Amino acid sequence: MWEKGKRKERSPGEGEKEVRKSLRLEDMETSFDFCERMTKTMDAYKEKVGMTLAKMDMEDKPNNNDIKVWLKELAITQMTGMDEMACMVTEVVEEMDAMQEEVKGKDREIRKLREQLDEQSSVVSSVVVTKDKMEVKASSKDMEERLKIATTQFKVMDVDIGKETDNRTEILTKGMAAIKDKVRSDMQEEWTRLAEGADVTPLVRKTTKAKDKDTYTAPILFTVQDKTKRWRMEEILRNSKIYPGFHWPTEMMTVLKDYKTVLKDNGVSDETTYIRIRPVERDGKVKLRADIKAKEGSGKFSTKATWEAPPMCPEVRKKARDHLKPIWASARG
């Protein structure tokens, strides 16, 4: 950039833009390089001054002309050294200015990258939210299908099988016979006809010994697609003092506890109130309905709240924070 020993004359601002454009961070010298150059310049300066002084010492009787030459050499040496150092300082200033511009440019790039990252983060968050919603919807649909099946079923608990066995066919045969024996005699023929059209299966692999008794029992599950026939079968059992129960999918057991907690938090006490929660299907969509009735008196069940079908998967359920939020009966139109 500079010719050694000669300072380049230029008008203020001349070439400044060109220098700053051409300088790059990777091309700029390090502090060590600058100090090394400065040291060399100072060493050269001292060497020239030393030579001049040596000449002065060697001359015993210098005349005026000798003194003039020596002073001139010292002055030139000093001016040259100062000029070279001034050039080096100018270079450093220019490099610092260029570096500052470079840093500003990098800062602008960083801000732009941050803006792009924020935009990408927003897009990613949106995608995650959409993905979560899709997972919740799909898992809720799975639970709806499971609940639809549950609405076609009922179970009879603790059916006396008469012996210990792990033979499912034997459990089913003896269980059906035990139930029929308890059905009222005037309803047995109808019961037999209705039971022939049902899908019946034991809910255990092996009979269980009853506590403090010598009997072995097993629960029996009935699946009846025709709801009129199903209701009639349940009615026959109740009239025969056999009380059928609803068979909940395993995935619903935790949710049911959560529903009862919601009801309790809203003033429904299971100590004074009967709580019945059942899936109901309307227009092809399954919801969970909570009906309540006071334990005292002879009132009827009335609807308290309903919920949308929750996600079947527990992990997905955590993403659906509103799945426990009910529609209260008083708020429905």
Among the residue ranges 72-76, 105-109, 132-136, the one predicted with the least confidence is 72-76
Which range among 25-34, 222-231, 315-324 has the greatest average pLDDT?
222-231
Residue 332: what pLDDT?
45
Distances from the Cα of 157 to the Cα of 53, 244, 249, 251, angstroms: 121, 7, 16, 20
Are 272 and 139 in contact, with CB atoms under 8 Å apart?
no
Percent of the chain clearing pLDDT 70 (strictly above): 86
CATH code for residues 151-247: 3.30.70
Residue 308: what pLDDT?
93
Residue 75: what pLDDT?
74
> Could you tell me the two tokens for 228?
């009129």
Residue 70 has pLDDT above 80, yes or no: no
- In terms of pLDDT, which residue wins out, 104 or 243? 243
Tens digit of each residue's pLDDT (9 = 90 or more) over 118-161? 887 877 777 767 788 888 889 999 999 999 999 999 999 999 99
Among the residue ranges 81-85, 107-111, 222-226, the one predicted with the least confidence is 81-85
What lies within 8 Å, CB to CB, of 229 at 6+ separation is: 194, 197, 198
Residue 31 has pLDDT above 80, yes or no: no
In whole angstroms, what is the distance from residue 194 CA to residue 191 CA? 5
Q: How many residues does the chain have?
A: 333
Residue 39 has pLDDT above 70, yes or no: yes
Q: Which whole number is the average pLDDT over 294-312?
A: 91
What lies within 8 Å, CB to CB, of 270 at 6+ separation is: 260, 264
Are 237 and 184 in contact, with CB atoms under 8 Å apart?
no
Residue 322: what pLDDT?
84
Residue 282 has pLDDT above 90, yes or no: no
Residue 281: what pLDDT?
86
Give the start-to-end residue ranges of the domains of the chain: 16-121, 151-247, 249-333
Residue 3: what pLDDT?
39
In whole angstroms, what is the distance from residue 35 CA to residue 31 CA? 6
Residue 117 has pLDDT above 50, yes or no: yes
pTM of the model: 0.61
Among the residue ranges 27-36, 177-186, 221-230, the one predicted with the least confidence is 27-36
Tens digit of each residue's pLDDT (9 = 90 or more) over 20-29? 445 455 555 5
Strands across the sheet containing 302-308: 273-282, 285-294, 302-308, 327-328
Are 289 and 280 in contact, with CB atoms under 8 Å apart?
yes
Residue 6 has pLDDT above 60, yes or no: no
| Mean of per-residue pLDDT scores for the chain | 83
